[in-house]
Each structure stands twice: as structure tokens, then as C-alpha cells.
Amino acid sequence: MVIDTSELRDKHGAEVKELADFLGEKVKAKINVGDREITLTSREKGKIPSKNYLRVLLRKFLHKKELKDEFRVISGKENILIIKERKLTETE
């Protein structure tokens, strides 16, 4: 499972490390932090959580860090989740 954090890293670079720590506490998987993504691989006995559960965890993290108004979680291709910056509309 891959989580694309490129847009989050551009705006809030320190949050990516905290996201990896947050996921490490919640899931039983090996977490590798790359330049633009976080990769989850299964350990010997643990399984990778479902894509829906990971989406919920990512949304909880964004809410906890008060980034929910700036970013959203979308589904990419198979086994990819993307933390995407929201397009802000100007209200007049």
C-alpha cells in the first residue's frame, strides 16, 4: 500500500514524519518513508489494513493536525491513497 504525500510535504514537511509515527501506532505493518510517499508492507505475521481503514486513519490524522480544511484523501490506482490539497474557492 502506498500513500502519496508529495503535496503534504510541499506545504507541511514536518507533518509527514508525524503521519508515519501515527500510522506506526495504529497498524501492524512495516512503514518506509520515502521522498514523496509512505509505503506500508506486511510484516511476517501482520497484515496490511484495508484501503478503507487507511483512508479513515489518514482523515483522522488530518483532523487531529487541523489540516482537514487544506487537504483531503483520495483514492488513486490500485493500492494507492493520495493526500491532495483542496482547491479553495473564493466566496464573494
- Which pLDDT tens digit goes with each residue over 24-37? 998 888 899 998 99
Share of the chain above pLDDT 90, in %: 55
Whether 90 is in a domain gets the answer: no
CATH number reported for the structural domain that contains residue 70 in this entry: 3.30.1360.210
Say what the pTM is. 0.87
Which 8-state DSSP code applies to residue 7?
A: H
Q: Which domain holds residue 56?
A: 2-85
What is the spatial distance between Cα 26 and Cα 13, in angstroms, rounded to a whole number?
21
Domain count within the chain: 1
